[in-house]
Amino acid sequence: MVVLICLNMVPLLLETNDQSMEAEEFQCFALFAFGLIFIIEFILKVVAFRKHYFTNGWNIIDFVTIIMFILGKFLFDDRFDTLEFKSFTFYSKYKLGFK
């Protein structure tokens, strides 16, 4: 999981103010792909732990982060430039340092 979180940071590190359309499309696709991977991880953990999933504080933060990603994608879809998605990627980097 640490590798995925580190790979998730690559599109963010490559972001510039004057990037090309191809770079922007790559970034959008990569961030969406990582979001789907984290959603799949969430589903697998819920199936495995069932009601005990929500007894761990990190899992609750994961759940809130996934909800923010979904809301950010479907309610505020302006090329992943929403506060919710920025929070999602920030949390992924934050989690890497403390888990």
DSSP string, 5-63: HHHHHHHHHT--TT--HHHHHHHHHHHHHHHHHHHHHHHHHHHHHGGGGGGSHHHHHHH
Percent of the chain with pLDDT over 90: 18
- Please give the mean pLDDT across all residues of the chain: 77
Q: Looking at residues 39-49, what average pLDDT do you find? A: 94
pLDDT of residue 70: 84
Determine the residue type at 45: K
Give the pLDDT confidence of 54-87 residue by residue, as tens digits. Answer: 999 988 988 998 898 888 777 766 554 444 455 5
DSSP state of 1: -
Q: Would the pLDDT of 1 be above 60?
A: yes
pLDDT value of position 79: 53
| Cβ proximity of 28 and 79 under 8 Å | yes
Instruction: Encode pLDDT of 16-40 as tens digits.
Output: 788 888 878 888 888 888 889 989 9
- Look up residue 47 and give its two tokens: 């199936």
Taking every pair of Cα atoms in the chain, the longest distance, rounded to a whole number of angstroms, is 47
